[in-house]
Chains A and B, each alone.
Chain A
Amino acid sequence: MSTIDYTKNEVNVKGNRSLKEIDDLIIAPLDRIPNMKFFIAIGITSTMLLIGAIGIALSFYYGTGLWGNNNPVGWAMPIVNFVFWVGIGHAGTLISAILFLLRQRWRNGIARFAEAMTIFAVITALIFPIIHTGRPWVAAVYLLPYPNQHGLWVNFNSPLLWDVFAVSTYFTVSLVFWYVGLIPDFAVLRDRATGRIKKVIYSIFSLGWRFSNRHWQHYEMTYLILAGLATPLVLSVHTIVSFDFAVSILPGWHTTIFPPYFVAGAIFSGFAMVQNSLIVIRKVFDMDDLIPIKTLETMNKIILLTGTMVGYAYSMEFFIAWYSGSQPEYFTFVNRAFGPYSWAYWTMFSCNVFIPQLFWIRKIRTSIVPMFIIAIFVNVGMWFERFVIVVTSLSRDFLPSSWAYYRPTITDFAILIGSFGLFFTLTLLFTRFLPSIAIAEIKAVSEGAQPSHHGGEDHE
């Protein structure tokens, strides 16, 4: 039998460090000049970013004809990448908001980092619909309802417009949530800062936070409210993204399972990405105690759960395609699994459904190298899931004479690489310039941080 004692709360922060040591450990990467590993890493990611920038610049100059998009497959890699990156963002809000409401205290160590990843993922995602419009320099304006000389308004009936509202709300609320969490940490940085420039910058961003309990009271309530608002928001965002597909009449898209299926998939891929990045961060910055293996194990369990839900959705789609008796629907799904894109389908299926099942084994769930590799597979699989949904459904639509095989071009891949470059460059800069673990939150859950239950009578 296992030897876990369920009568005691498990320790969320190991090592019984003093509060001062927690400050020092978290802020250390901000104060010292980064080591060689950091520069190599940022060199690689900024090169990737540059490749993407060249791809986008060429697309702007010569037009979107450089992409592989063809006549039936008008929504191709840009939309695949958009849905992929928005999905990555979901884990951050799930960790910071939903697990906060569920009082999962292990989340405190990783919440800040996960929120930052949400923001960077949404920034990365937003590039794609904007460049896909073909006129990015005006698209940002045309997407919003603003009074104009044409007397025209946007179409409030369209899922694409709901998407504009959902993603921009998601970005703004995540940013506010993240910033509210950062205010006390900026104040810590301000009080530790020695240089004048640093002190001015941190003072501005800390807004003059004074750690007053009269403030903490409203602050905690507001944080709770933000968590309460962000929880339905995170579920709504990928639901609305799935409406982009589900509200159309294309076989393979027009299904009611899409909203829950997309949300589960988003959390699945998001957790895999957060897990991957956290493993790197805790190694590079020696934060093994603040992000214990137990946290990673819990994340792996969520990956296993959501992966199984996604597998259920794949199977249920097939069942319904047969059970509905709708011929186009049936054809689309047989075509997915055994048609020209079967390679993509089976890559998706094995990466998302079969490989995560290894997490049933405790040994794999708790060792770093296997879990890292499995999470990479999950990310590959989830990218292919969006590819399969978008491309296979479009490439063989109702009219066989218009069928065409979609092949991404080198520009498509350059932009995809660039999106990873942007995301990881932002993440690396974040770990260098901001505390990647919420200082106040981690202090609040460290050992002895809260008063003992007898109300502090025996302090002498």
Chain B
Amino acid sequence: MNKLYSVAALFKTPDEIMHAAAKVADAGYEKYDVNTPYPVHGLDGAMRLKPSKMGYYTIAIGLTCMSLMLFFMYWVYNIDYPQVIGGKPLFPLPAFVPIMFEITVLTGAVLTVAVMLIFYFKFPNNAHPIHDSGYMKAVSSDRFGVNIEAIDPKFDIEGVKAFLSSIGAYQIDEIYFDEEEVNTKHRILDSKFVIGMFLIAGFTSISVYLHMNKALYLPPFDWMLLQHKVTAQDHSDFFKNGISSRVPVEGTVARGFMPYLYVGDPDGASDNLVNPFVADEENIALGKRKFLTFCSPCHGDLAMGDSRLRGQFPNGPTLHSDKLLSWTDGRIYHVITEGQNVMPGYKKTVTRKERWAIVNYVRTLQRALDAKEEDMQ
């Protein structure tokens, strides 16, 4: 169904269009427009248009984004990851000035244009009634035109035509449009647009994923992850047993793990072993740390036999019993090293020095529950 959009008149010179625009404005029309191939100076005044307010958007957007950027940099340097760089303060304002300036210009320029195109002009819109008309083709090249829209309250087709020819138009056309086809509304929620956006989002996500996870590791960009060397626990065709790492020479001793001489000989340990470490503050602190790690789960934090395991494992005995009090340091060291009953030996996990430190710590705990007169001083 074709519907009248406007009556459009063409003029030949800029002087004529100035004159015509002023006349149309004076005649009281509101829904009209003037189309010129380039901006003609003084036409805004002739059309009685108010001055453009684009500058306010620029300054509002620019200053807002500048403040946000300043706050972001403050947040990075003072809250998220405080870090002194080059001896400068945590809030080096002069160093932030270049970035603040650039952000102001960037957002001011880009968003002003966006505001103009999207909110003022409602672009992109290639479905406006005057597109593709002879009138449009004339004003885009070398003619100057006025078109008065049919929705104007004063519109009356014959009257408008007579008026336009009276102000000197050399050609007058009627512009029709198809309501089905022409839709000047925004189509943000149009299904085609939404599907298109989803497709773009999907494509972007997949390509970013492939880039970050696949393409980056293609040779030769493997970041030295692939190297022609043998690593421990690797398979190797070079050695007969097929293992890349070599078995140490028999009798090799790991650092800090001296061979234990009294295996299966608790009395020998009791009689011959002497604690070689002085129970000073540092040694006891080490012993406490190791005790809490390895011993306390069964024997309790204070060695009272109050297991943290609540019966899920046989309870370790208290270490404050008379039996334990009468044992020598060497005997306790032997139990820690070799284990006893269900208690495993700790010679592979706790070093010699640490085992002796645990002995010193156990002695400290015993002394705390069984204090002597002279300790009170």
The stretch from B138-146, B198-206, B345-353 touching chain A is B138-146
Contacts of B43 in A (CB 8 A): 213, 216
Contacts of B339 in A (CB 8 A): none
The stretch from B90-98, B188-196, B238-246 touching chain A is B90-98
User: How far, in whole Å, are A259 and B101 apart by their CA atoms in the complex?
Assistant: 16
Q: Cβ of B116 and Cβ of A218 under 8 Å apart?
A: yes
**A90 CB, min distance to chain B CBs, angstroms:** 15
User: How far, in whole Å, are A460 and B12 apart by their CA atoms in the complex?
Assistant: 11
The B contact surface, by secondary structure, is helix
Output the nearest chain B residue to A216 by Cβ-Cβ distance: B39
Contacts of A208 in B (CB 8 A): 123-128, 131
The stretch from B80-88, B307-315, B354-362 touching chain A is B80-88
B296 within 8 A of A: no
Contact with A along B1-27 (1 / 0, CB 8 A): 000000000000111111101000000
The stretch from B51-59, B262-270, B284-292 touching chain A is B51-59
Output the nearest chain B residue to A151 by Cβ-Cβ distance: B81
Q: Cβ of B15 and Cβ of A451 under 8 Å apart?
A: yes
User: How far, in whole Å, are A123 and B33 apart by their CA atoms in the complex?
Assistant: 40
Contacts of A188 in B (CB 8 A): 37, 140-141
Q: Cβ of B35 and Cβ of A211 under 8 Å apart?
A: yes
The A contact surface, by secondary structure, is helix
**A57 CB, min distance to chain B CBs, angstroms:** 11
Output the nearest chain B residue to A155 by Cβ-Cβ distance: B85
A28 within 8 A of B: no
A397 within 8 A of B: no
**A419 CB, min distance to chain B CBs, angstroms:** 23
12 A-B residue pairs with Cβ-Cβ distance under 8 Å, sorted by A, are A151-B80, A176-B110, A204-B126, A211-B139, A212-B34, A218-B52, A222-B112, A225-B108, A229-B58, A229-B109, A243-B98, A459-B19
Which of A192, A206, A225, A448 has the largest number of chain B CB atoms within 10 A?
Answer: A225
User: How far, in whole Å, are A441 and B38 apart by their CA atoms in the complex?
Assistant: 7
Contact with B along A421-460 (1 / 0, CB 8 A): 0000000000000000000110110001111100111111
A139 within 8 A of B: no
Q: Cβ of A440 and Cβ of B38 under 8 Å apart?
A: yes
Interface size, A (range)? 35 or more
Partner-B contacts on A (CB < 8 A): 18-20, 23, 60-61, 137-138, 145, 151-153, 155-157, 161-162, 165-166, 168-169, 172-173, 176-177, 180, 184, 187-188, 190-192, 203-204, 206-222, 225-226, 229-230, 232-233, 236, 240, 243, 440-441, 443-444, 448-452, 455-460
Q: Count CB-based A-B contacts (< 8 Å).
A: 217
Partner-A contacts on B (CB < 8 A): 13-19, 21, 33-44, 47, 49, 51-52, 54-55, 58, 72-73, 76-77, 80-81, 85-86, 88, 92, 95-96, 98-99, 101-103, 105-106, 108-110, 112-113, 116-117, 120-121, 123-128, 130-131, 136-137, 139-142, 168, 211, 215-216, 220-221
User: How far, in whole Å, are A220 and B39 apart by their CA atoms in the complex?
Assistant: 8
**A248 CB, min distance to chain B CBs, angstroms:** 12
User: How far, in whole Å, are A233 and B98 apart by their CA atoms in the complex?
Assistant: 10
User: How far, in whole Å, are A188 and B220 apart by their CA atoms in the complex?
Assistant: 49
Which of A61, A449, A457 has the largest number of chain B CB atoms within 10 A?
Answer: A449
Q: Cβ of B13 and Cβ of A459 under 8 Å apart?
A: yes
Q: Cβ of A443 and Cβ of B37 under 8 Å apart?
A: yes
User: How far, in whole Å, are A1 and B13 apart by their CA atoms in the complex?
Assistant: 39
Contacts A210-B131, A451-B14, A456-B16; is A19 near B141 (CB within 8 Å)? yes
**B41 CB, min distance to chain A CBs, angstroms:** 5
Q: Cβ of A191 and Cβ of B55 under 8 Å apart?
A: no
